[in-house]
């Protein structure tokens, strides 16, 4: 991979950001803000019926997300969903720089996600569902929590392989 650096750009970045992790977090938040501005809230089809079925069965649903709680509660309200507890600003993308990396399905996956780890340890979920193995599921799986990969048309093959190689992990194409 070749990098093209504008003269003085590196110095400017170092003045503004403590390190690459802080810079990548800034880029992530800026991209999310732009997407949220350009797209109205949407939930998957039948989300309210699916949530209602889980809640009727006695499940406590806690959504742990990088998004703000306000954004998520607006989306749920828009979809007619109530009874879900929201923990926003999970910062799953924030890394602490520790060498906590596991090779899963031939890929290095970072597990040093301190805010997400704290949320998982506090919530102590029976299982975690997510659509991104490395971001949503690798850390809970490493803590011995059952994980469920929700596949979509863009799920990479390595994620399917990672689920197959991870004890307590499975994959579904729908949560219905």
User: For the residues of 68-117, what is the DSSP string, one character each?
Assistant: -HHHHHHHHHHTT--S-EEE----TT-------EEEETTEEEE---HHHH
Q: Who's near 10: CB < 8 A, 6+ residues apart?
A: none
- In this predicted structure, the answer to whether residue 116 has a pLDDT above a threshold of 80 is yes
63, β-bridge pairs: 86
Higher pLDDT pick, 11 / 156: 156
Give the residue from 79, 89, 71, 73 showing the smallest Cα distance to 51: 79
The size of the chain, in residues, is 176
Residue 98: per-residue pLDDT: 85
When mean pLDDT is compared across 3-7, 82-86, 124-128, 154-158, the lowest value belongs to: 3-7
From CA 140, how far away is CA 148, in angstroms rounded? 10
What does the pLDDT read at residue 118?
A: 95
Q: What pTM, to 2 d.p., does this model score?
A: 0.73
Determine the straight-line distance between the first and last CA of the chain, rounded to whole angstroms: 42
Banded model confidence at residue 2, pLDDT cuts 50, 70, 90: very low
């Amino acid at each position: 991979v070749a990098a093209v650096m504008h003269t003085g750009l590196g110095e400017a970045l170092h003045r503004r950001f403590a390190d690459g992790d802080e810079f990548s977090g800034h880029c992530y938040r800026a991209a999310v803000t732009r997407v949220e501005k350009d797209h109205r809230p949407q939930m998957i089809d039948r989300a309210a019926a699916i949530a209602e079925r889980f809640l009727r069965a006695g499940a406590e649903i806690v959504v742990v997300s990088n998004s703000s709680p306000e954004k998520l509660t607006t989306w749920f309200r828009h979809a007619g969903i109530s009874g879900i507890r929201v923990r926003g600003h999970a910062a799953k993308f924030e890394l602490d720089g520790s060498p906590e990396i596991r090779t899963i399905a031939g890929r290095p996956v970072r597990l040093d996600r301190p805010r997400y780890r704290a949320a998982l340890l506090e919530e102590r979920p029976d299982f975690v569902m997510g659509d991104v193995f490395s971001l949503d599921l690798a850390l809970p799986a490493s803590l011995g929590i059952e994980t469920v990969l929700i596949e979509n048309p863009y799920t990479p093959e390595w994620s399917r392989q990672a689920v197959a190689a991870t004890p307590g992990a499975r994959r579904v194409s729908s949560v219905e």
